[in-house]
Amino acid sequence: MIKKLLKKLKSLFKKKDKASKFDFKADLMWIYGGMNASNAKEVAQIKDLRMDIPKKKMYYSWISGGCEALGASNKDEYKNTYACIFYWNDTMKKWVGGKFDEISTSRTWRPLDNCTNYRGWKWEPFASAKRYAFLIVNKSGTLRTNVIFS
């Protein structure tokens, strides 16, 4: 009886571990913003995603790399790096989103105004979501930061 119980507990933990793994290429649906960076290589790191939906703003912090690691010429240059955000879609069991704004290292917040009407974005499903994922990619979609969640 104890063996059965231990086996069952072990299988529950395995299922949880397997389900909690994030697969960058498979789990993000790049449907908004006009780019797909699903093959981008991670070269920089960010942390601490904070969302303020009523004020249409999001915040984050840099750990390493900065936009310069993604191809920006300096911390204020924003034409070569893009902010990408995704919301969890319970029905699809996927992260849905894409590019929504240009971004630089010199500012660690972004307005979410483009998530209301830019290249397919619709505000209502985004605003009513409970979970979000964020990353920054270079202009060609080949380099990126890690993905952070709120």
- Per-residue model confidence as pLDDT tens for the chain (150 residues): 666 555 665 655 544 443 458 999 999 999 999 999 999 999 999 999 999 999 999 999 999 999 999 999 999 999 999 999 999 999 999 999 999 999 999 999 999 999 999 999 999 999 999 999 999 999 999 999 999 999
Q: Check: CB of residue 95 under 8 Å from CB of residue 133.
A: yes
CA 91: distance to chain centroid? Answer: 19
> How many whole angstroms from its chain centre is CA 84?
6
Q: pTM of the entire structure?
A: 0.85
Domains of the chain with CATH codes: 24-149 (2.60.40)
- Residue 31 near residue 96 (C-beta atoms within 8 A): yes
